[in-house]
Amino acid sequence: MAKFNWRRGAVALAVVPLLALAACSGGGKPADNGSAGAAGQVADTPRLKIALITHAAAGDTFWDIVRKGAETAAKKDNVELLYSGDGDAGRQAQLVQQAIDQKVDGIAVTLAKPDALKDVVQKALAAGIPVVSLNAGEDQYKAMGVMAHFGQSDKLAGVTVGKRLASEGIKHPICVIQEQGHVGLENRCAGIKENVPGSEVVYVNGADMTSVASTVTAKLQSTPDADAIVGLGAPFTLTIVKSVKDSGSKVKVASFDLNGDLAKAIVDGSVEFTVDQQPYLQGYGSVDAIWLSKVGGFKVGGGQQVYTGPAVVDKSNAADVSKFAQAGIR
């Protein structure tokens, strides 16, 4: 895939050494999913080591796409990429500390639970390591001193979904949050409620899909006046679709985020639409921003958030988007 022009656009894992999780760049070889750059070349710049540390939960394919974007940028930029993730905020903070101890050249980190990460981010900055955030933390990254943030506004994404539901006459949607306390997920549901006051939230254990299914099924059976249900991630929404069928409910299903199977579900009509935050761009942009800062002192976004979404995918464009989703790029 050709390099995205940022000037024109704006597995829970155990805590183990990042080197054990390293996804090293190809050292001059073309990227596996296309070319390393526009001309299939690797940057003739000093070799860098960048850590990408997420709050990835086991089974969430969203993070595979983030990682793929980051790996593509790393191959182009002559970067050794060290990827790790943990859904527990305390262990994620430990992974950031490990990256500091390894004296990496830059850190890209998700800030789903910023209070647990603010101290270790300050340690990285004090050590002279540039930090960018991605995916979660758009309201907190500036106060933490982070150089740039790549992602959508989760509140705006929620408002987008809420307006769409309201336009379809929805009065009582259920918003399913798979990780209680995650600031971005809470903002999505809050955005829906701004436009559909009758919406409510149900919390599920996102680390256990069997539990997700049983909780959603029970909620639908006990809430006969619900007319829509919204999943906040593709794997969770696909599980919700099964629960809707099992419960005999007639609610409409909507979603946030995207993968190949969800794109198919939109095409076949079992899901009405989703709001895609384009995670490939989040991974790609984060690594590329650190590389640009190291080799040229560039500040991508000028200190402002670089938006990667929201982008609505529905019946009108799902078939076109699906071919990219099947390739793991969206």
Helix axes 62-77, 279-296, angle to 10 degrees: 30
Residue 167's CB: how many other CB atoms inside 10 A? 9
Rounded to whole angstroms, what are the CA distances from 321 to 216, 258, 314, 325?
A: 28, 10, 10, 6
* Each residue's pLDDT tens digit, 217-256: 999 999 999 999 999 999 999 999 999 999 999 999 999 9
Residue 23 confidence (pLDDT):
38
CATH domain 18-152+278-309 topology: Rossmann fold (3.40.50)
pLDDT of residue 170: 98
Question: Cα 166 to chain center, whole Å?
Answer: 25
Residue type, 119: D
| Residue 230 CB-half CA count within 13 A | 34
Q: What is the pLDDT of residue 10?
A: 38
Does residue 25 or residue 294 have the better pLDDT? Answer: 294
Three-state DSSP class for residue 136? coil
For the segment 1-39, what is each residue's pLDDT rounded down to a tens digit? 334 444 334 333 233 333 333 333 333 333 343 334 444
Q: What is the mean pLDDT of the chain?
A: 88
For residue 307, the model assigns a pLDDT of 95
Q: What percent of the chain has pLDDT over 90?
A: 80
Contacts of 186 (CB under 8 A, 6+ apart): 177
Distance CA 306, CA 134 (A): 9
| Adjacent-strand bridge partners of 228 | 173, 252
pLDDT band for position 75 (cuts 50, 70, 90):
very high
Of 18-22, 171-175, 196-200, where does mean pLDDT reach its minimum? 18-22
CA dihedral 15, 20, 22, 27 (to 10 degrees): 160
Q: C-alpha angle with apex 306: 304 to 307, nearest 5 degrees? A: 125
In the predicted model, what is the mean pLDDT of residues 114-130? 97
Location of structure tokens 């793929």: 68
- In CATH, the architecture of 154-276 is 3-Layer(aba) Sandwich (3.40)
- What is the predicted pLDDT for the residue at 40? 66
User: Which of residues 315 and 59 earns the better pLDDT score?
Assistant: 315
Percent above pLDDT 70 for the chain:
88
Residues of the chain with CATH 3.40.50.2300: 18-152+278-309, 154-276
Q: What is the torsional sign of CA 18, 23, 26, 31? A: negative
Query: Taking Cα atoms as reference points, which of 151, 11, 22 lies closest to residue 85?
Result: 11
Confidence at residue 325, expressed as pLDDT on a 0 to 100 scale: 83
128 has a pLDDT exceeding 50: yes
